[in-house]
Structure 1
């Protein structure tokens, strides 16, 4: 199961990377002009569209997987969710007890576990032999 990057994934990621650097520069230098405001609004819209694109590609590729592979990824997701959510909660409990958020550890664990378990489906494609 050799995988490689698809040009359909490289170009949007390159645009994401470059626009993130430009946005960080604008925010860090506190540049306030109409172009920078329009650029940041466009960047946020691009982020939402790029996230939607990655989710759609991941769902399309999930349909191509066997039930055994889906079960393996789901089990991996559950284990990672428990480990990451629990470690985040314990870290906050011992080191930041005044800032314990009831749902914060769940969202961080959920997002990280989903990303680690399923996002390779959105970024890579199988190489055809």
Structure 2
């Protein structure tokens, strides 16, 4: 029963985030500037922070449901995708901008993209895989 509550809350938060994102895009597109829009923007910011933290913990908790072989494959794919995105982003920054490469920025973006590509479906796991 607890797994169903976790899955339901994850789906609910994702749906709520999509709806709030559409509303925020509408507010930004129409250039609405009043007290309600400002408060909604602040609530949207806090919702985004909460969802990022929730999804990270949900993914870590659901990693226990994977078998060792699949977990090992995912970690190897994560490392490969991370190195690929890091090298491509550094290369494009060097070729296009000819500026100093900010390694911390490159690492953050490559790490987050690789994490999303490899581990995003784990948030919605329902049963244990052996």
Shorter-chain TM range is 0.7 to 0.9
Residue 99 to residue 18, structure 1, CA distance change in 2 (3 Å): farther
For structure 1, list consecutive stretches of 5 or more residues without a partner in the other structure.
1-5
2:4 match: none
Q: Which residue of 2 aligns with 1:86?
A: 87
Query: As a proportion of its length, which structure holds more helix?
Result: 2
Normalised TM-score (structure 1) = 0.84
Q: Which has the higher contact order (CA 8 A, sep 6+)?
A: 1
CA RMSD of aligned residues (A): 2.0
Q: TM-score, normalised to structure 2's length? A: 0.83
CA contact (8 A) 1:54 1:123 kept: no
How many residue pairs were aligned? 123
Gaps of 5+ in 2: 1-6
Partner of 2:16: 15
Higher strand share: 1
1:57-116 CA distance string (max 9 Å, x none): 111111122222221111111000000110011111111213632322111110011111
The question of whether the paired residues in 2 share the 8 Å contact of 1:12 and 1:50 is answered with yes
Query: Is residue 75 from structure 1 mapped to residue 76 from structure 2 by the alignment?
Result: yes
1:101 aligns with 2:102: yes
The whole-number CA distance in structure 2 between the counterparts of 1:51 and 1:103 is 20
